[in-house]
Amino acid sequence: MAREPLLERLRRRVLLADGGTGTFIQGRAWDVERDFLGHENCSEILNRTRPDFVAGLHRAYLEAGADCIETNTFGANHVVLGEFGLAGETRALNREAAAIARAEADRLSTPDWPRYVLGSMGPGTRLPSLGQIDYDALEASYREQALGLVEGGVDALLLETHQDLLTVKAAINGARAARVELGREAVPILVSVTVEATGTLLVGSDIGAALVSIAAMGVDGIGLNCATGPAEMAEHVRFLCARWPGPVSVMPNAGLPILVEGETRYPLTPEELALWQGRFVEEDGVNLIGGCCGTTPEHIARLRAMLDARSDPAPRPRRVEPEPAVASLYTAVPLRQENAVFAIGERCNANGSKRFRELLAAEDWDGLVGIAREQEREGSHALDVCVAYVGRDEARDMAELVSRLRAQVTVPLVLDSTDPAVLETALKLLGGKSVINSINFEDGEDRPAEILRLARRFGAAVIALTIDEAGMAKSVEDKLRIAERLHAFAVDRHGLPEEDLFFDPLTFTICTGMEDDREHAVHTLEAIERLAERFPRCQILLGLSNVSFGLRPAARHVLNSVFLHHAQQRGMTAAIIHVSKIAPLHRIPEALREAAEDLIFNRWRDGADPLGRFIALFEEAQEEEQAQRAAPASVEERLRRRIVDGDRRGLEDDLEEALQRHDPVQIINEILLDGMREVGELFGAGRMQLPFVLQSAETMKAAVRYLEPRMPRVEGAQKGTLVLATVKGDVHDIGKNLVDIILTNNGYKVVNLGIKKPIQEIIEAAERHRADAVGMSGLLVKSTVIMKENLEEMRRRGLDIPVLLGGAALTRRYVEEDCRRAYTRPDRVHYAKDAFAGLRLMERICAERRAEG
Residue 565 makes CB contacts below 8 A (sequence gap 6+) with 585, 687
Q: Measured on CA atoms in the order 409, 410, 416, 417, is the torsion positive or negative? A: positive
Q: Is 751 annotated as a binding residue?
A: no
Residue 393 makes CB contacts below 8 A (sequence gap 6+) with none
504 given a catalytic annotation: no
Read out DSSP for 141-174?
Answer: HHHHHHHHHHHTT-SEEEEEEE--HHHHHHHHHH
d(CA 679, CA 396) in angstroms, rounded, equals 45
Produce one character per residue of 683-696: b if its CB has 16 or more CB atoms within 10 Å, e if not.
Answer: beeeebbbbbbbbb
Q: Are 44 and 95 in contact (CB under 8 A)?
A: no
Q: Is 226 annotated as a binding residue?
A: yes
Q: Measured on CA atoms in the order 738, 740, 745, 747, is the torsion positive or negative? A: positive
Q: Is 148 annotated as a binding residue?
A: no
d(CA 192, CA 459) in angstroms, rounded, equals 17
Q: Is 835 annotated as a binding residue?
A: yes
Q: How many residues does the chain have?
A: 853
Q: Is 292 annotated as a binding residue?
A: yes
Burial of 321 (0-12, 13-18, 19+ CB in 10 A): exposed
Q: How many helices (H) and strands (E) does the chain have?
A: 35, 27
Q: Is 417 annotated as a binding residue?
A: no
Enclosing H/E stretch for 248: strand 248-251
Q: Is 730 annotated as a binding residue?
A: yes
Q: Is 732 annotated as a binding residue?
A: yes
Burial of 312 (0-12, 13-18, 19+ CB in 10 A): exposed
Q: Is 731 annotated as a binding residue?
A: yes
- Taking alpha carbons only, the member of 211, 207, 212, 730 closest to residue 499 is 212
Q: Are 258 and 265 in contact (CB under 8 A)?
A: yes
Residue 367 makes CB contacts below 8 A (sequence gap 6+) with 359
Active-site pick, 732, 740, 772, 830: 732
Report the amino acid identity of residue 252: P
417 given a catalytic annotation: no
Q: Are 124 and 78 in contact (CB under 8 A)?
A: no
Q: Is 241 annotated as a binding residue?
A: no
561 given a catalytic annotation: no
Active-site pick, 500, 654, 730, 740: 730
> What angle do the packed helices 230-243 and 270-279 form, to 10 degrees?
20
The 3-state DSSP composition of the chain as helix, strand, coil percent (nearest 5) reads: 50, 15, 35
Q: Which residues are tagged catalytic?
A: 730, 732, 783
Residues tagged in the binding site annotation: 226, 292-293, 729-733, 777, 835
Residues tagged in the binding site annotation for methylcob(III)alamin: 729-733, 777, 835
Residues tagged in the binding site annotation for Zn(2+): 226, 292-293
